[in-house]
Amino acid sequence: MALKKLLLRVAFILFLGLIIGLGINFSLIKKYFLGDFRFGFISLEKYTSITFITLGEAEGLFSEEEALFIDSRPKEAFQAGHIMGAVNIPFEEYKKENALDLIFLPPEGTVVVYCDGSECNSSLELAKVLHRKGLLDIRIFFGGWVEWTREGLPVSSEK
């Protein structure tokens, strides 16, 4: 039957794609199950200056005043409230205006990038840009604004 033959061929292509795709990326699958990508799909071997930090670590850096906190959320969200002392680099707006090239930060020193929380990815994208700009120590605080405020940690606003 022509239809059966057609569907068998479709299944064959899908199967072939599955075998090759999973086979070639076996090392990535292993990393996935080891939890390497639980915060986001990023190769930490490629982006050597990026690390993910927890709320506790972020709080430590904050209280020791050792890091510059960068808020990658939109301007309005930042103005409504942000981690005390943080500066705003609204990733999406800057990207749209091609302004990411204009960012200048010294390569030394620690920066902590954050956005809303696990649902947002602008902190990850901004961290990649900062890595390409040669910053040596970029921490992504993945819990972000949601976790920070949930714990009642110091915030400020511009309103």
Partner 1 sequence: MDEGRAACIFGKMIRNKYILLVFRLVVGGMFIWAGVSKIIDPLEFAQNIANYRVFPQGISFFLALVLPWIEVICGVSLILGIFRYASALLLSGLLAVFLVLITVTIIRGIDIDCGCFGDLSGKVDYKLILMDSVLLFFSLNIFFSRKAVRVKY
Cα 52 to chain centroid distance, Å, stands at 8
59 within 8 A of 112, measured Cβ to Cβ: no
The reply to whether 150 sits near partner 1 by the rule CB under 8 A is no
By beta-carbon proximity to partner 1, the closer residue of 96 and 150 is 96
Q: What whole-number distance in Å separates Cα of residue 9 and Cα of residue 13?
A: 6
Q: What is the DSSP letter of 83?
A: E
What mask of x and - would describe binding to partner 1 in positions 22 to 61, judged by CB under 8 A? x-xx--xx--x----xx-xxxx------------------
Q: Which amino acid is at 132?
A: R
132 within 8 A of 47, measured Cβ to Cβ: no
Q: What whole-number distance in Å separates Cα of residue 110 and Cα of residue 135?
A: 8
Give least dist CB 49 to partner 1, A. 17
Give least dist CB 95 to partner 1, A. 9
Q: Which of residues 64-103 bind partner 1 (CB under 8 A)?
A: 92, 96
By beta-carbon proximity to partner 1, the closer residue of 20 and 99 is 20
Give least dist CB 118 to partner 1, A. 10
Q: What whole-number distance in Å separates Cα of residue 35 and Cα of residue 26?
A: 14
Q: Which amino acid is at 126?
A: L
Cα 7 to chain centroid distance, Å, stands at 41
Binding-residue total with partner 1 (CB under 8 A): 29
List 9, 30, 75, 132, residue binding partner 1 (CB under 8 A): 9
Q: Which amino acid is at 108?
A: E
Q: Which of residues 110-129 bind partner 1 (CB under 8 A)?
A: 119, 121, 124
- Residues lying near partner 1 in the complex (CB under 8 A) are found at 2, 6, 9-10, 12-14, 16-18, 20-22, 24-25, 28-29, 32, 37-38, 40-43, 92, 96, 119, 121, 124
